[in-house]
Structure 1
Amino acid sequence: MYDQGDFIQRAIGLGYHEIVVMAHREATEAERGTSKVKGSVRKRNAGALEYAAFLKGVIFFLQSGTKPLGLSDQQFMSIRPLAVDLVKRGIFDQKILDAFQQK
């Protein structure tokens, strides 16, 4: 349900604005109903909050070109195929990929 890899695959081929809107929409939906409502524990246990944090990290990276502090190295590296796609299509400059070399 909250599959980070699936999000990246769906985002490949989309434009910058479309990716940001989709990530924001999905993060908002993932967070909705995660506190003090019926089913909130189940939703949190399913990974809703972690998924929302990942999506916010994707947005941060797309806007800043730097690794978000809240993402693990593995999560950050999972964004690389999306960044490569954006570079190949001329939406981002090649320099954005330098962020993946810095650890």
Structure 2
Amino acid sequence: MTAASTNPGNDDSHGPGPRPEQVRITVNEQYVVMPDKHATGAEIKQAAISAGVPIQPDFVLSEVRPNGEQKIVPDEKKLSLKDGDEFWAIPGDDNS
């Protein structure tokens, strides 16, 4: 009888099972749970910082593509996220 109360995946306020809008991604090889399937580059970095990833808001965020290439994600760019998406955030380069 107590299984539902001890299993965080059974939160009836959001329907059966885990919250479907949450997405689990990695930033610099650390797991970050995003509260929504859509987020900007800045929101991804802020969520990573809140999750304890040692990055700064001014770091450059890159999305790791399936072929291994990285694509820079500007702070204002809104992305559609899915479980397993991988990102890297590194200090910016001032050599323009």
TM range (shorter): under 0.3
State TM-score, norm by structure 2: 0.27
Structure of higher CA gyration radius: 2
More helix by share: 1
More strand by share: 2
